[in-house]
Amino acid sequence: MKRGAVIFGGLGLVFAALAFLVVQKETVLKRGQPVLLRLAPVDPRSLIQGDYMVLDYAINQGWREGREQPQEDGNVVVRLDEHDVGEFVRYEPPGTALAPGEVRVRFRIRNSQMRLGAEAFFFQEGHAERYAKARFGELRVMDNGTSVLVGLRDENYQPLGSALQ
């Protein structure tokens, strides 16, 4: 009987953790501010994993612009233009206030690269051509920098689809 209680208790903890993560992401989707990030050139499809696009963002390419890459996880600050496109402003030192029009986006350093946590976009089989036109990743971003990828947009800022489909 004790062994069964431990197993069910462990399963309960796993389901509670999963429920918490789902609620957290749903909150970002509902309350997060829309931010468009320009995509860097990428291979439009991963042939191994099927209908899937690897995303890379222009703000991750700081080394191309002579910016030093951060060595630890943190926030990048972007300024939004009239189309909600975020342009790099600075890496955020802890405790600094944002200026009007600025948004913080949380990143993590993995394998010496800055990752926003939204580096993959899955789409329905047979729609690869449609998503090859993507020029922006559309994220919803909370005040603390937590973000969720919600779709891709073309050069005219028009939605190409939703990650939620």
Q: Is the pLDDT of residue 118 over 90?
A: no
Residue 94: the pLDDT is 75
Q: Is the pLDDT of residue 45 over 70?
A: no
Report the relative pairing of strands 147-153 and 102-110 from DSSP bridges.
unpaired
Residue 101 confidence class, pLDDT cut points 50, 70, 90: very high
Asked whether the beta carbons of 72 and 40 are under 8 A apart, the reply is: no
C-alpha separations of 126 from 6, 13, 120 in Å: 46, 39, 17
Q: Kindly report the average pLDDT of the chain as a whole number.
A: 81
Q: Which residues contact 46 (CB under 8 A, 6 or more apart)?
A: 52, 53, 54
At 75 the three-state DSSP class reads strand
Strands (E) located in the chain: 33-38, 52-54, 74-80, 86-91, 102-110, 113-115, 120-122, 136-141, 147-153, 159-162
Nearest to 137, CA basis, from 114, 115, 160, 106? 160
Phi, psi of 35, rounded to the nearest 5 degrees = -140, 130
Nearest to 138, CA basis, from 113, 124, 122, 158? 158
Residue 131 confidence class, pLDDT cut points 50, 70, 90: confident
Torsion of CA 77, 114, 55, 137, to 10 degrees: -10
Residue 123: the pLDDT is 76
